[in-house]
Chains A and B, each alone.
Chain A
Amino acid sequence: MSSRPISLSKLSKNNLILFVCLILVAGVLYPLLNRSGSEGSVAVIEIDGEEYTRVDLSQDTVFTVPTPAGINTVKVSNHEISVESADCPDKICVNQAAIHQSGEIIVCLPHKLVITVITDTAKESEEPQIDAVTE
């Protein structure tokens, strides 16, 4: 019992070191992985890793995206894109706020759907596309 306070304080010191290390790792990774910030102009919609379509965020529209697992209704309004409704079980994609900065994403995991906002002038994509296809 007499050695307990010492070992406990040593453990708390280790805990603190661990805490700082984990926060540092997150802090270092954040700028590396997060490229959001600038205003995006185009949203890329991917299904199961394959690009499905691109939409111009400057034109308000509502359209459905049929995925093999179900349907998502995507809404573009006010330079923002969001999922208006979906028949997925968890509705996480619907509950996510509308996105507009480049790098921001909305994901519907059950439908394997990813919506990513990009700036088309940044030419981050492999093939420089001139315009988005709106339907």
Chain B
Amino acid sequence: MLLQNNPGKRKTPAVLVAQSGVLIALALVFSYVEHLIPIPTPVPGIKIGLANLVSLTGLFFLHPAQVFIILVSRILLAGLMFGNMSTIIYSLAGGVVSFLIMYLFKRLKLFSATGISMLGGVFHNLAQLSVACIILSSTSLLMYLPVLIIAGVVSGLLIGTVTELVSKTVQKNFYS
């Protein structure tokens, strides 16, 4: 069910805009909640990635371009509201790379949402670590790599599991 394509009816521009707006707002709230509750972690930069719920669920129901626009808008807005230029760069790197990986593996149909989400989490962290290494022009951060892989897997598991539950409800209420 999760992996079936749901083209649905062709959406009018108005529906697309309204739907994207609501989902950007939802993702923004997730970013804000996460920003409000900092979790003490051994390595800075680890987070659950609640906003990824929107991108991941979106991948199963919406056109990937729409999901991508929602993702980038959310990152830019969240960065302007409670971040700064450097947080935008890190978030964009992580967000875009994990989106591409998740889209690729969704197309490959090898894994369910949980697996796709784990890969997304891991690659999100890999991308951010790479950007950090480039900005610092130092490889000392590489010692964080194993911890960041584990963190990506764990947050991916959480987000993926929730996504599978959410997708069932969305499927039932909007696509059947």
Which of A's residues lie within 8 Å of B, judged by CB? 4, 7-8, 11-12, 14-15, 18-19, 22-23, 25-27, 29-30, 33-36, 46, 48-49, 89-90, 92, 95-96, 103, 105, 107, 109-110, 112, 114, 116
B44:A92 contact, CB within 8 angstroms: yes
Q: Interface stretch among B8-16, B24-32, B58-66, B140-148? A: B140-148
Selected A-B contacts with CB under 8 Å, 9 pairs = A15-B118, A18-B119, A22-B153, A29-B145, A34-B146, A89-B84, A105-B140, A110-B86, A114-B140
CB < 8 Å neighbour of B111 from A14, A26, A33: A14
Residues of B within 8 A of A26 (CB): 145-147, 149-150, 153
A114 engages B149 (CB within 8 Å)? no
Give Cα distance in the complex from A110 to B147, angstroms. Answer: 22
- CB within 8 A of B157: which of A19, A25, A34, A116? A19
Say yes or no: B86 contacts A18, CB within 8 Å. no
Give the interface SS of chain B, mostly helix, strand, loop or mixed.
helix
Number of B interface residues at 8 Å Cβ cutoff, please give it: 32
| B127: min CB distance to chain A, Å | 15
Option from A4, A23, A33 in Cβ contact (under 8 Å) with B150: A23
